[in-house]
Amino acid sequence: MKNTDLSKYNNSWFNPGGNSIKRVLWYFCNVLFIKNGWNPCSGLKVRVLRAFGAKIGCGVNIKPCVNIKYPWNLEIGNYVWIGENVWIDNLAKVRIGNNACVSQGAMLLCGNHNYKTTTFDLMVGEITIEDGAWIGAMSTVCPGVTCKSHSVLSVNSVAAKDLDAYCVYQGTPAVKIRERVIE
């Protein structure tokens, strides 16, 4: 039986984009303007994110204490809500469609590690949250997952696989529990 050996971990292949100066500058701007709970101004957050390469539509509402790893890997449509304490760990591209909602404390995780290798290799995958989808509070969307149009991931659930359109998912791992009917 083999053991994990983190001294041999190597993710030199991974390039998150942006040069090292841009990444350091972003770190401080993220802390000052995006993660900062004392900044309630969504418009200022949107302007700062756009300045760092995020593509953001109109009417986007970003609540306090949101954490975004790399804004240049972020696309947000129109009239999107991002709740308090959301963590967008976008080591890969994250796309959020129009009229979508990512509720308080949710995590969008584009990175994971391969527990089957002794070197615990980094694995990344894009996340897509399509138009009208709702990611419930304290829920997690895993790398490579697409939450299709108007799907719902219930509170404190984990989406490890794609969510079908107009369906409600719940649990860890999330399973379909009903159809979503919008009246």
The pLDDT score that the predictor gives to residue 78 is 98
Give a yes or no: residue 10 inside a domain. no
The pLDDT score that the predictor gives to residue 134 is 98
Give a yes or no: residue 7 inside a domain. no
Tell me which amino acid residue 141 is. V
Give a yes or no: residue 11 inside a domain. no
The pLDDT score that the predictor gives to residue 180 is 98
Tens-place pLDDT, residues 141-153: 999 999 999 999 9
The span from the CA of 34 to the CA of 56, in Å, is 14
CATH for 52 = 2.160.10.10
Ranges of the chain with pLDDT below 50 = none
The pLDDT score that the predictor gives to residue 169 is 98
- Tell me the pairing of strands 175-179 and 167-170: antiparallel
Rg (CA), the chain: 17
Give a yes or no: residue 80 inside a domain. yes
DSSP state of 43: H
- Domain tally, the chain: 1
Give a yes or no: residue 37 inside a domain. yes
Q: How far is CA 132 from CA 28, 148, 151, in A?
A: 32, 9, 7
Give a yes or no: residue 147 inside a domain. yes
The pLDDT score that the predictor gives to residue 34 is 97
Domain hosting 122: range is 17-179
Give a yes or no: residue 8 inside a domain. no
The span from the CA of 113 to the CA of 102, in Å, is 24
